[in-house]
Structure 1
């Protein structure tokens, strides 16, 4: 702590200079602003294979499958992608505890699976299991 006395000829300041601190913070802010978008858009993701999991044994679930050509099957019966939502709503009305297992081929386009999952959500199905194969 610096005190000023009558005999002192030197002027001692007891204040902190915050200008260097502000400069460092602004540089860090600019660095984060520039690098944040690059980190989120430049990462290429290869989805991992998962360990095999079994659906809960509560009761028999309906199987919804999407093959490599993008065809959608509900319990081995083929449906157009646009008709899945209505069919699931009908089955949900008949059974409010409807459970659904989703099987999607590895080669199917992501957009097709996204449309099917969106239809499942809009139909009100809350019990969904996405099935995979073991490594």
Structure 2
């Protein structure tokens, strides 16, 4: 007989058709992919971009702090006796320019705790725009796996 009607009502269903399940899964995948672009904002990385206005010649003040591996400290290329002197200099620079930016350049052999101490001193001086100076390195090229 035509139409696929079963002759015997006692026959059990022995196979499962997974095609509708795959179809639904693919549709949901496409929906999630499209909505993920809408959910994630284009500014997901917080950036502190400089502002510019036409016709002004405003120069940003940068406080440069260099930490040497031997314990020496320089602020704006002038040696200071110790790291705690940074607090006084940062306070003075912040009162002159509230938009002060600080750049910490530390030798790779400088202990992490010393860098955090300098960072803490800058935050105590209310300097909120802080960056770390680095030397650009060539990009790492992955080595292909042998087949």
TM-score (norm 1): 0.54
Tell me if the contact between 2:61 and 2:99 (Cα under 8 Å) persists in the aligned partners. Answer: no
Task: State the match for 1:62 in structure 2.
Answer: 63
Aligned match of 1:117: 119
Compute the displacement of 1:91 (Å).
0.9
Q: Once the 2 structures are TM-superposed, how far is the Cα of residue 133 of structure 1 from its aligned partner? A: 1.4
Where does the alignment leave 5 or more consecutive residues of structure 2 unmatched?
1-48, 52-58, 138-147
Per-residue Cα deviation, 1:87-111 (whole angstroms, up to 9, x for no partner): 1011101111111111010011112
How many residues align? The count is 81
- Could you tell me whether the CA contact under 8 Å between 2:104 and 2:132 is conserved in 1? yes
Q: Please give the alpha-carbon distance, in whole angstroms, between the structure 2 residues aligned to 1:93 and 1:61.
A: 13
Which protein, 1 or 2, shows the higher relative CO under an 8 Å CA cutoff with sep ≥ 6? Answer: 1
1:62–1:100 Cα contact (<8 Å) kept: yes
Q: Paired residue for 2:11?
A: none
1:76 aligns with 2:71: no
How far does the alpha carbon of each residue in 1:51-101 deviate from its partner, in whole angstroms, 9 at most, with x for none?
xxxx96962422111011122210111121111111101110111111111
In the TM superposition, what whole-angstrom CA distance separates every residue of 1:1-42 from its partner, at most 9, and x where no partner exists?
Answer: xxxxxxxxxxxxxxxxxxxxxxxxxxxxxxxxxxxxxxxxxx
1:99 paired with 2:101, answer: yes
Tell me if the contact between 2:63 and 2:90 (Cα under 8 Å) persists in the aligned partners: no
CA separation in 1, counterparts of 2:104 and 2:115? 9
Q: Which runs of 5+ in 1 are unaligned?
A: 1-54
- 3-state SS of paired residue (2:84): helix
Relative to structure 1, the CA distance from residue 77 to residue 90 in structure 2 (aligned partners, 3 Å threshold; closer, same or farther) is: same
